[in-house]
Amino acid sequence: MYWLQFYCLPLINYYSQLLNIMIIKIIAFGQIAEVTGKEFTLDVRDTDSLQITLTEKFPALANKKYALAVNKKLITVNIALSENDTVALMPPYSGG
């Protein structure tokens, strides 16, 4: 996996700048990661379009509840995303 990050990510960043694509890193946990995989990237501008894109790409997410955290901060409203943002998809959790 390291070689992929070392060789491919610089190329992805270079071409995304040329094509005016904004790549956002997505990290998934728990049952969400079982559907989407642990890490991937998407070209989205805000969290509402992220959720729409996730449902289109992964139809199984339509029936699952999850929280969004942008740069380690939980969010409940739509916010704009920037090139260096990391979004975490977190399933419901319980404490005890």
On whether residue 4 sits in a domain, the answer given is no
On whether residue 83 sits in a domain, the answer given is yes
On whether residue 6 sits in a domain, the answer given is no
On whether residue 9 sits in a domain, the answer given is no
On whether residue 5 sits in a domain, the answer given is no
* 42 or 5: which leads in pLDDT: 42
Q: Indicate the pTM of the whole model.
A: 0.75
On whether residue 48 sits in a domain, the answer given is yes
Q: What is the CATH number of the domain that holds 44?
A: 3.10.20.30
On whether residue 31 sits in a domain, the answer given is yes
Taking the CA atoms of 78, 22, 92 and 94 in sequence, report the sign of the dihedral they define.
Answer: negative
The whole domain housing 29 covers 23-90
On whether residue 27 sits in a domain, the answer given is yes
Q: Does the pLDDT of residue 67 top 50, yes or no? A: yes
Among the listed ranges 4-8, 43-47, 74-78, 92-96, which one has the minimum average pLDDT value? 4-8
pLDDT class of 83 with cuts at 50, 70, 90: confident
